[in-house]
């Protein structure tokens, strides 16, 4: 009997539910709240909580319907416990606790960053009739892969380098000390009136512009670690825009060139630290070689970032692995289901009625 998992993510501004089996995605419903938060220029926590509350039940129902699975066929419920916005997380966790308890199913608490990490392992269903005939092969928790791999999670809330020793065994080796890469792009986007979230529009504009038109500093070059920082870039962009607008309002070409230059600066800061890590690792004979570099998180949808990372990792004969669809990059519950399959057998407690949201949960810790 295949282990169908109902997965739920309400960590930020997307209400999402999915049905997965092993690493196969049978359905993945995402109700975006972008329209609700646009006027605030960012995510407004109480608005997010209310929207999650209104949407969670229909989103779960739709995920089951699209997967062709009835609640009685489920083996477990997986839910994002953290990190994320506390009031938003609470809605998913409380819903999942009640749902799992009612159906006497195990509840698997999942780390959202682990979801982004394992999103590269997700596979689409092969045909619409696959649901009931899911073969034994697809019920395997994770595909055969060689480890360790290096995962890069680049999103609106996080910028992390994590060594994956095995699915479930992680070592955080680098992170941002202030803003996340996506957050920096969003804040920059607001300065040039691109709306929220600005990342996708910055990408479109950047394609038309000159990344060398404006010079931005390369941060954290003197530190002998893999920590990153993006808030200085944001300040530098603000100054540059103030300088330009003191003369005249920004021209369209200036906005386009600012997008290209700022995006390049953010991505260069990431590839610089990635190269620094790989250089150090490959110079150390006690470190096992890596078997690939994985990319996840909302900013992972950006094709320029992918290109720059690919170029960096190819120097070390490594491949860059990305999720099978851009929908798997931004927040979604399917990636939470994939993690659920990894941890399914660790959870023997039937309802886990005591779990609580963990807004600051670091991946790789309990
Ligand atoms: O993973 P995600 O949906 O939410 C978090 O967990 O943070 O990431 C959202 C972030 C936003 O900052 C958004 O601007 C950025 O991902 N983003 C992009 C692109 N698509 C989304 N940034 C750059 N290029 C894109 N194509
Ligand atoms: Zn996320």
pLDDT in the model for residue 347? 57
Q: Is 298 in the pocket of ligand 1 (CB under 6 A)?
A: yes
Q: Is 332 in the pocket of ligand 1 (CB under 6 A)?
A: no
Torsion of CA 251, 256, 261, 262, to 10 degrees: 90
Name the 3-class secondary structure at 183: helix
- List domains and CATH numbers for the chain: 4-144+325-346 (3.30.420.40), 155-321 (3.30.420.40)
pLDDT in the model for residue 348? 54
The angle at the Cα of 165, spanning 167 to 336, to the nearest 5 degrees, equals 25
Q: Whose CA is closest to atom 14 on ligand 1? A: 199
Q: Give the model confidence (pLDDT) of 324-356 as tens digits.
A: 999 999 999 999 999 999 999 885 554 566 789
Nearest CA among 104, 93, 111 for reference residue 153: 111
* Cβ 150 vs Cβ 161: under 8 Å: yes
Q: Is 115 in the pocket of ligand 1 (CB under 6 A)?
A: no
The angle at the Cα of 20, spanning 14 to 26, to the nearest 5 degrees, equals 90
Alpha-carbon gap, residue 346 to 167, rounded angstroms: 13
- Concatenating the DSSP letter of every residue in 300-312 gives GG-HHHHHHHHHH
* Cβ 261 vs Cβ 211: under 8 Å: yes
- Residue 45, both tokens: 């926590």
Local structure of residue 122 (DSSP, 8 states): -
CA of 68 to the centre of ligand 1 (A): 30
Q: Can you say whether residue 349 is alpha, beta or left, with left for phi > 0 and alpha for psi between -120 and 50 degrees? A: beta
Alpha-carbon gap, residue 159 to 297, rounded angstroms: 9
Q: Is 82 in the pocket of ligand 1 (CB under 6 A)?
A: no
Atom of ligand 1 nearest to the CA of 156: 7
pLDDT in the model for residue 133? 43
Mutate to test the pocket of ligand 1, among 182, 198, 361 (most ligand atoms within 8 A of CB): 182
Q: Is 182 in the pocket of ligand 1 (CB under 6 A)?
A: yes
* Cβ 35 vs Cβ 14: under 8 Å: no
Name the 3-class secondary structure at 329: coil
* Cβ 148 vs Cβ 288: under 8 Å: yes
- Residue 282, both tokens: 């490959």
Q: 252-283 and 303-314 helices cross at what angle (nearest 10)?
A: 30
CA of 43 to the centre of ligand 1 (A): 13
Atom of ligand 1 nearest to the CA of 326: 20
Atom of ligand 1 nearest to the CA of 189: 14
* Residues near 166 by beta carbon (within 8 Å), at least 6 away in sequence: 147
Alpha-carbon gap, residue 290 to 292, rounded angstroms: 6
Q: Is 156 in the pocket of ligand 1 (CB under 6 A)?
A: yes
* Residues near 118 by beta carbon (within 8 Å), at least 6 away in sequence: 23, 142, 167, 335, 338, 339, 342
Alpha-carbon gap, residue 344 to 112, rounded angstroms: 16
CA of 348 to the centre of ligand 1 (A): 35
Helix (H) or strand (E) holding 81: strand 74-82
pLDDT in the model for residue 349? 57
Report CA-CA distances (Å) from 288 to 56, 144, 149, 278.
44, 18, 10, 12
Q: Whose CA is closest to atom 20 on ligand 1? A: 200
pLDDT in the model for residue 45? 84
Instruction: Count CB-CB contacts under 10 A for residue 243.
Output: 9
Q: Is 186 in the pocket of ligand 1 (CB under 6 A)?
A: yes
pLDDT in the model for residue 36? 79
Q: What is the pTM of this model?
A: 0.94
Sign of CA dihedral 158, 77, 123, 207: negative
Low-confidence ranges of the chain (pLDDT < 50): 129, 131-141, 350
Name the 3-class secondary structure at 217: coil
């Amino acid at each position: 009997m295949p282990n169908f998992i109902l997965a739920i993510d309400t960590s930020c501004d997307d209400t999402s539910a999915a049905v997965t089996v092993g690493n196969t995605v049978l359905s993945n419903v995402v109700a975006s709240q972008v329209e609700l938060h646009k006027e605030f220029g960012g995510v407004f926590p109480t608005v997010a909580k209310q929207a999650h509350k209104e949407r969670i039940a229909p989103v779960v129902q739709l995920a089951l319907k699209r997967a062709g699975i009835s609640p009685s066929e489920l083996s477990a419920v997986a839910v994002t416990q953290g990190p994320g916005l506390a009031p938003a997380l609470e809605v998913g966790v409380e819903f999942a606790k009640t749902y799992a308890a009612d159906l006497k199913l195990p509840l698997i608490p999942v780390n959202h960053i682990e979801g982004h990490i394992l999103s590269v392992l997700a596979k689409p269903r092969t045909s619409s009739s696959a649901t009931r005939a899911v073969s034994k092969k697809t019920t395997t928790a994770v595909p055969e892969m060689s480890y360790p791999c290096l995962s890069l999670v680049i999103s609106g809330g996080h910028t992390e380098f994590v060594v994956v020793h095995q699915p479930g065994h992680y070592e955080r080796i680098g992170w941002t000390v202030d803003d996340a890469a996506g957050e920096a792009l969003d804040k920059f986007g607001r300065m040039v009136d691109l709306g929220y979230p600005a990342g996708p529009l910055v990408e479109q504009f950047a394609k038309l512009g000159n990344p060398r038109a404006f010079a931005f500093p390369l941060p954290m070059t003197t530190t002998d670690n893999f920590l990153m920082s993006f808030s200085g870039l944001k300040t530098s962009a603000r100054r540059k825009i103030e300088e330009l607008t003191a003369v005249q309002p920004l021209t369209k070409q200036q906005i386009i060139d600012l997008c290209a230059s700022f995006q390049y600066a953010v991505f260069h800061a990431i590839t610089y630290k990635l190269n620094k890590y790989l250089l150090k690792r490959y110079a150390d004979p006690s470190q096992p070689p890596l078997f690939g570099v994985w990319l996840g998180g909302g900013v992972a949808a950006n094709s320029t970032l992918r290109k720059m990372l690919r170029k960096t990792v190819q120097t070390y004969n490594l491949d860059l692995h990305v999720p099978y669809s851009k929908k798997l990059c931004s927040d979604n519950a399917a990636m939470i289901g994939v993690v659920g399959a990894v941890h399914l057998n660790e959870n023997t407690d039937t309802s886990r009625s005591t779990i609580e949201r963990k807004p600051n949960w670091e991946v790789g810790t309990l």
